[in-house]
Amino acid sequence: MGSTSDKVKGVANEAVGNIKQGVGKATDNDRLRAEGVVQEKKGEVQQNVGKAKDALKKGVDKA
């Protein structure tokens, strides 16, 4: 998986996680809110993986 796709999936997971958290909060559904937190964190990790791949590629390209 490329760095761009990691970043895109990360943004999508963060967005869906935020929505789940909002719906869970509005409906007083703790399970849904917790799922949203987990999905948001997963998205953050995916974005960081994409950024790390970019940094690694730039480092290799300079060498």
Convert the pLDDT of each residue in 10-51 to its tens digit.
999 999 999 999 999 999 999 999 999 999 999 999 999 999
Both structure tokens of 54: 């970019």
Residue 63 pLDDT level (bands cut at 50, 70, 90): low
Q: Which residues contact 63 (CB under 8 A, 6 or more apart)?
A: none
Both structure tokens of 59: 């480092």
